[in-house]
Every structure is written in structure tokens, then in C-alpha cells.
Amino acid sequence: MSDILEQVSTAIIEGDLDEIVDLTEDALDEELGAEEILNKGLMAGMDHVGVEFKAGNMFVPEVLRSARAMQMSMEILNPLLAESGVQMLGKVLLGTVKGDLHDIGKNLVAMMCEGAGFVVKDLGKDIAPEGFLEAVKEHDPDVLGMSALLTTTMRSMESTIKALEEAGVRDKVKVMIGGAPVTQAFADQIGADGYASNAASAADLAKQLVS
């Protein structure tokens, strides 16, 4: 790996908001392609962050900082990636279910999925089944991710899957769920395609679901 790509990767891992923009521009000045900077710099850094987060060696504030650094770099690279027609892994649609206003976990999942090479559309929080359904029809995602932090709002996940089934679009999208009270058993019970216990695992799961 070139020196500059290692520096980009390190800046992502360390969440270095002061340096990441300059390093991204330096990499472009060295005539590295946007895709190479994404894959070997940003995604390499976020992969490391994901491993450390899963292992309990990095914590939410540090991961958020790393993700923010990645977003700052992506603001420069996105137009170039679009120009060169780079294929992303797929499209992920995310939202916290109706009645639930918690979104730190969902935001982390969004950042981890972006770091893994997905285009992410984040609907926000308190999304009703009809809202998810309309968004699936509009955005045609490969994966729909729903989160809940309250046992009382978990049932909205089941209602959303039923709404997708009734509208005839369930087989067009993979559904993954997560959040503190959510379990694999609950995912199986409501007919979700997968469950992830944390943001790094959610990004890995999304990759599995589209492969």
C-alpha cells in the first residue's frame, strides 16, 4: 500500500478530522483514483475500526469520530466515484421503527455500511410500516435495516414485514433488524432475513445478504 493510503487509513482509525481532507486531496494529487482511495484507504480503516469495535477495544464516541472522518473524505470522493461509474456493493435503507426515537445505533450502522461500500439512505426515526413500504418502493434498496431500542416498539418490525408482503415487494428486499431488545429468535419469528447485535456485525450481515 502506498504511504498516502496508509496515512488515510490511519486518519480514519484515529478519527483525525483535522487531517483527513488534506490527506484525501494529497492522494488525488498523487493521481490515485477515487475508487482506490475508497477501497485501500477509507474502507481499510473502517474495517479495522469494525474489528476493534466488535472486540470491545473501541467505543461508540471513537467509532462516530472515525465515521465522521470517513464522511468528510467521501464528500470529496463521491462526485469522482459517480463520474467514473464505480459500482457500490448495493443500497441499504435504514430507519428506527414507529414509536422509537433512538438513533445512535442506527446512525452507527449507516456509517459502517457506508464504510463497507454501500449507498445508504437513512429515513431517520419513528418510521411507520407505511413509511418503510413507500421508501422501499421509491428507492428499491437491496437491504432494509430496522432498529428498535424498546420492547414495546419491536412489533412494528413485524408489521413492516407484513406490509411488504401484502404489497408484493417482500421478495425484492432483504430485511435485517437490530437493537438492544432484539434477538435472532425474534428475527426468525417475524420472518426477517437476518439479525445483527452491533453496527459492525450489521455491515458484515448486509454484505452477506447481497452476495
Q: Do residues 47 and 127 share a domain?
A: no
pLDDT at 70: 92
Q: Which of 56, 83, 110 is the last residue of a domain?
A: 83
CATH of the domain at 11: 1.10.1240.10
* pTM as predicted: 0.84
Q: Do you know the residue count of the chain?
A: 211
Residue pair 116/46 in contact by the 8 Å Cβ criterion: yes
In which domain, by residue range, is 104 found? 90-210
Per mean pLDDT, which range of 17-26, 47-56, 124-133 is the poorest?
A: 47-56
Let me know: does 113 contact 120? Beta carbons within 8 Å. yes
Using one digit for the tens of pLDDT, what is the confidence trace for 98-140? 999 999 889 989 988 988 889 999 999 999 999 999 999 999 9
Residue where the block lists cell 474489528: 51
